Structures are given as C-alpha cells and as structure tokens.
Amino acid sequence: MVPTYLIKPHLQRHYPTVQYAKGIYVYDTNGKKYVDGCSGAVTANLGHGVPEIIEAMKEQANKVSFVYRSQFTSEAAEKLAETLNERIGGETRYWTFLVNSGSEATETAMKIAIQYWQEKGKKGKNKILSRWLSYHGITLGALSMSGHTARRERFVPLLEDFPNVPPPYCYRCPYQLTWPSCQWRCADELEEAIIRIGAEHIAAFIAEPIIGAAGAALTPPEGYYEHIQAICRRHEILFIADEVMTGLGRTGKMMGLDHWQAKADIIALGKGLGAGYTPIAATLVSEHVIEPIRNGSGVVMSGHTLSANPLSAAVALAVLQYIDQHRLVQKAEEIGSDLFTKLCRLQQKFSWIGDIRGKGLMLGIEFTVPDTKTMMPNKWAFTDIVVTKAQENGLLVYPSAAGNGKDGAAIIIAPPLTIERAQLDELVSLLEEAFHHIEKHFP
Ligand code: PLP
C-alpha cells in the first residue's frame, strides 16, 4: 500500500512502489521489472542485494550500530578511514571526516577550507569559487557553491554568490574555440576571477572532476585540471574535488581526478561509498590542510549526530572491499567503453542526440532540436519526457541538465559497475525503444 502522507519529489506525480531489487534489476509491487540504468542517482554502484554487504551489515548491527562520535570511535570507522587513505591517497595522506550525505561532505569541505585559513591567520579568505553548471548539494552552503540554476533560483536571496567560472564545455565552447588550440581558455577564467575578487578573499575552488547532475558527464579535456591546480597553487587557494558522483570507480579510475595528473587538497565522497546500502559520505582532508588545525584550535568545527556511526562505516568498508575483490574499477573502464560505442551507434539513428560524453560508466547524452545543435527549449520539458518514457519502458535513467542550465536537455546513463556485457544490450535496446516512441510524438 502506498503511504499517502509521504512527500515525494513531485507531489502530483504517481510513483510506483518498489518491491525488491537484485543486481541491475528493480521490481515494483505490480511485478514490473526495471533495468537500473543509472544506479538510482548514480549511487547503487555494486547493484542491488549483494550478499556480502548484507552480511557485513548484519555482523556490525549485532555488535553495535551507533555510538556518538564525541564519546567513542569504532573499529569499523577507523578501518574505513585507513582503507580510504590506502586506496585513494597515494603519496598524499588524507584524514577522513565521516558524514551522511554528499551535501554534508561538500559543505564540510567548504568549512574546513575556511577554518584552515583562519588557523593560519588569514581570516578574510572565506569565499569559495566554483563553476556554472555544477552541483555540490542541496543544503544552503553546498547550494551556494552550486551553479545549477533550477535548484538555486528559489533560494537565491539566502545564498552566497559563489559560482563564477565557466565550465569546460567543449561541445558548446563559449569562446568558439577547440581543444587543444584553445589552451584551456575556460580554465584561465579561474585565474581572472581570482584576480578580480582578490585571492585574499578566496579560500578554495571546488569542482566535480566530471560534471554530473548539472552537465550530463561534461568531461574536461586533457591538461585541464593540471592547469586548474597550478592556478590554485599560484594564488594560494585550496582545490576541493567533489568526487561524490565520480569517486570510487564510477569513471573507470578509482577517483575521477585520476584521469588527470592533479591532486586535490580536500576530497568529498558520497553516493558510491555506501553504494545505496546505507547513508554515508566523507570529507578527506590532506595532511597539509589538517596540520594547522591540529596544531591550532585542535577541533574541526563540523559534524552531525550520525557522523561515523559504526553500522554505516562497516557497510562502506565492505563496499570498498567488494570493489577491489571484483575489479570493479577496471570493469567500469572496459564495460564503459563498450557502452560508449553502443550509445554512439544510437546517435547515428536519432538526429536529436547532440553529444555523447563521459568516462567509464558515467556517460551523458545531450539532446538538441533535431538536425541542429540548438538547445532543447525549456518549455519542451524534454529531459522529463525521456526519463518518464524510459521508466514506462522498464529502464531507469538519470535526469541531468545541459545547455545553459535552463534551456537544454540531457540524461546520464550510469548502470551498476557490476553490469554484465550481455546486459548492456538489454539496456541500450530499452533506451532505443523509448527514443523511437518519443520520436513518434515529438513536441
Ligand atoms: N556533489 C555531487 C557531485 C552530486 O552529484 C551530489 C548529488 O547528486 C551531491 C554533491 C549531493 O549529494 P547528496 O544528494 O547525497 O546530498
């Protein structure tokens, strides 16, 4: 029975009720089967119902689920922090601050960056720069850093005016340049913004290595983040990588930023860390950032009641072990390149597929007015049409944004990293059927 008083994202829409889910499939209470082509919200990276994760959950729940982080630490949380450091850090040592959602992870990153400069006696450095076409979360601090017009517009009076820099949007380059002759013109805008605002006011620059919800897997060209990192270092600004969507194998590397030769000072993780089995996220802080805080006030001024609860930590630890044991990072790269090829074939059949992009199993499709490169007008609500038609046809895809963030339509295809090659055909043929249906009823 559908709970009548539950607030759902769209109050006037009917949502099917989920019955159970296994692997890449989700089943509703009417017995309808869906291929999870986007891991929910690019979250269920291992697929559904993995016995090893459920076992780890039971085992930890039998020991202890919750202790307050100001009173106890736990073996599960300590081991998770150690494992994250081993798997992500490389030569850099990272200190882990556990939270419960991606928004909390980016907002904590923002606060730690500001606190870092305060502890170093630079109290004026409290702005965060970010890019237009970005999404860092829904809480007010995280939304302040986000260049996602639709999600911001209602709350603009409450937000800090942070986003400043154009995204690396090669498909619609605002300077009408092409890479490599562009020489990363869009990255240079970061330097211009820093000079305009004054580095003495700026704590950090935050970026999603590959832009998700606001850019349908917008992928910067080679050399882009090396350029960004050099600018940040030159002006003494911390670099925060928001790896909430891209982290932990999704893009075919352990971290999204690993596709470039660049390192972040602070990393935000979420989604794939709990892989949908539990709410957990993390802010990873490099040694040189935590050091002045440890030697200064000695307190990180952030945290939530459920931060670092042992149950979620044990689940995340089991998720990391599963990723390694099943070579999911490599698998995302290999299977992702097959999926990319298949989506490019679809592009030949539909004159309104403008761009296919992304890396690993985080792929974006941007739609255009047929036979043109013109953005889909907002009034067509085209993203919504695609998502709804695909779901009716038994395929889940993730709505994204493209174009200028208002006009423009796009989706993300991001199945669980455990998807088998044979299942890719099933996914793509369901998508193609949905596209044929949409074409017949074109706005
Ligand atoms: N950062 C990125 C890159 C995201 O994609 C999201 C969510 O889509 C968030 C932050 C916010 O995460 P959450 O929805 O878990 O708060």
163-165 and 127-131 strand pairing: parallel
Q: Give per-residue pLDDT as tens, 284-307.
A: 999 999 999 999 999 998 899 999
- As separate numbers, helices (DSSP H) first and strands (DSSP E) second, the chain gives 13, 15
Residue whose CA is closest, atom 14 of ligand 1?
Answer: 102
The pLDDT of residue 278 is above 60: yes
Q: Which amino acid is at 95?
A: W
Give the phi and the psi of residue 165 in degrees, each rounded to 5. Answer: -110, 140
Alpha helices in 85-223 (DSSP H): 102-119, 140-144, 149-152, 185-197
Q: Return the amino acid letter for 422.
A: A
Query: Can you tell me the mean pLDDT for 71-99?
Result: 95
Other Cβ atoms within 10 Å of 140 Cβ, number: 13
pTM above threshold 0.80: yes
Average pLDDT over residues 336-364: 98
Both tokens of 228, joined, read 């960004």
> Which pLDDT band holds residue 253 (cuts at 50, 70, 90)?
very high
pLDDT in tens, 225-243: 999 999 999 999 999 999 9
Determine what percent of the chain is predicted with pLDDT higher than 90: 92
- Residue 368 backbone class (left: φ over 0; alpha: ψ -120 to 50; beta: rest): beta
Query: Kind and range of the H or E element at 404?
Result: none
Q: For residues 265 and 206, give the distance between their C-alpha atoms in angstroms, rounded to a whole number.
A: 10
What would the two tokens of residue 174 be?
């605002």
Between the CA atoms of 340, 346, 352 and 354, what dihedral angle is there, to the nearest 10 degrees? 20
**C-alpha 371 to ligand 1 mean position (Å):** 33
Q: Name every protein residue with a CB atom under 6 angstroms from any ligand 1 atom.
A: 41, 101-103, 106, 135-138, 208, 212-213, 242, 244-245, 270
Give the angle subtended at the CA of 319 by the CAs of 313 and 322, to the nearest 5°. 145
User: Distance between CA atoms of 391 and 369, rounded to whole angstroms?
Assistant: 22
The protein residue with its alpha carbon nearest to ligand 1, atom 12, reads: 102
pLDDT band of 173, cuts 50, 70, 90: very high
Residue 325 has pLDDT above 80, yes or no: yes
Ligand 1, atom 5: closest residue by C-alpha: 245
